[in-house]
Amino acid sequence: MHKHMPHAPKQVISDLQIFGGRPAFAEKLHVGRPNIGNRQWFADRVNEIFERKWLTNNGPFVDEFEKRIAELTGVKHCIAICNATIALEIAIRALGLKGEVIVPSFTFVATAHALQWQEITPVFCDIDPQTHTIDPNQLETLITPRTTGIIAVNLFGRNCEIARLEEIATRRNLKLLFDSAHAFGCSYQGRMIGGFGDAEVFSFHATKFVNAFEGGAIVTNNDDLAHTARLMQNFGFTTYDQIACVGTNGKMSEVSAAMGLTNMESMDDFIAINRQHHKQYAKELADLSGVTVLSNDEEEKCNYQYVVMEIDASNTLVTRDELMQILHHENVLARRYFYPGCHRMKPYNSSALSLPETEKLSERVLSLPTGTSITPADITAICRIIRLVVSNGREVSEKLRAERP
Ligand SMILES: Cc1ncc(COP(=O)(O)O)c(C=O)c1O
């Protein structure tokens, strides 16, 4: 029996765990549970590391990982970094950003932190309601004499309006960096993500569909930028005792690169599974009024690593948070990525700032479990719960409110 084998399908709302039923899943189903490639190949690489006794400092696996990423994305330079947050920080510094940088608020907080950590002010921009990525029209209105750059985010592996952003950056003489933490293996207008703007950053964190335990990379076609970023990730060392610039320790370890290489070898399989899962969720929720599964452009390559559902509570009568709470009780750990928007988070909280599209969307989104640890039967069971809750939205919501202490 599969360890996630759900119990008998729930028929009525009193079957929901939150109202006294048994949880649908015996074990917790996570969003972003790691995909793990061929364990033997990984073990062989780890043995090689031990044989070589070369654990870090730009070892052969890091070198190979960088080459594979550059090859896959068609980008001239790749610098592997210990994680994407540090990769963003280094790229920001190597690009010479200062003053103000425009970023979407609807992103993971690391995008903003990477700026604020260096005392650069993130200026939060709203999103376009169609693409859910930075709104180029509003962006232009936020440019001031202090603005030095833009960090756009290819959120959930869905593309920003890249051509427009490149046009604005060129015309307004601004640097353009893409936070493509979610977009490894994706394409835009037939070209792989990685080669746009001045530079792009990928994440290989454990939750990303290709992971290196922790990991990131800066990719760029700019020779000077690549040179500076490579110096900065290794304390600014040019030779063993010469320092060219202020730097940090952003190096990726050999064991991370071994994991990254191993998982890249299974990348096509991971994408095929994610794509199948995405299709299944979309199909099983297709006719459910008030619920939309965000789609991806089928003309482009996509990693399908996020299944994001939007809930219109005026239609479902049950809120996103109520649905999330119910799912959590069923052991389905759906996540409200990215609530509440960086501009409403404590370090950035500006009560004066209103970003209506970000605020609206962050109240509606819910990311659902996918990846190699989820089965089609799990998805059917999850969709049945969502259907049961949404098609009885008013009753569920009233019952929840009545039972709330
Ligand atoms: C949009 C975005 N940017 C940056 C990061 C930071 O990546 P890392 O965890 O590799 O530092 C993440 C998440 O993990 C992310 O989702």
Q: What is the pLDDT along the chain (405 residues), one digit of tens a residue?
A: 345 555 678 999 999 999 999 999 999 999 999 999 999 999 999 999 999 999 999 999 999 999 999 999 999 999 999 999 999 999 999 999 999 999 999 999 999 999 999 999 999 999 999 899 999 999 999 999 999 999 999 999 999 999 999 999 999 999 999 999 999 999 999 999 999 999 999 999 999 999 999 999 999 999 999 999 999 999 999 998 999 999 999 999 999 999 999 999 999 999 999 999 999 999 999 999 999 999 999 999 999 999 999 999 999 999 999 999 999 999 999 999 999 999 999 999 877 899 999 999 999 999 999 999 999 999 999 999 999 999 999 999 999 999 876
Instruction: Tell me phi and psi for residue 254, to 5 degrees.
Output: -65, -35
> Cα(189) to centroid of ligand 1, in Å?
24
pLDDT of residue 4: 55
pLDDT of residue 7: 64
Beta-bridged to residue 335, according to DSSP, are 367
**Percent helix, strand and coil across the chain, each to the nearest 5:** 40, 15, 40
Pocket around ligand 1: residues whose beta carbon is below 6 Å from it?
83-85, 107-108, 110-111, 153, 179, 181-182, 203, 205, 216
CB contact set of 34 (below 8 Å; sequence gap of 6+): 206, 207, 211, 371
> Cα(316) to centroid of ligand 1, in Å?
32
Can you tell me the distance from the alpha carbon of 338 to that of 361, in angstroms, rounded to the nearest whole number?
A: 9
**Burial of residue 347 (number of CB atoms within 10 Å: 0-12, 13-18, 19+):** exposed
pLDDT of residue 161: 97
Of 108, 28, 34, nearest to 336 by C-alpha is: 108
Verify cis geometry, omega within 30 degrees of 0, for the bond prior to 106: no
The one-letter amino acid code at 226 reads A
> Cα(208) to centroid of ligand 1, in Å?
9
Predicted model pTM: 0.97
Residue among 117, 155, 159, 205 to mutate when testing ligand 1 (max atoms within 8 A of CB): 205
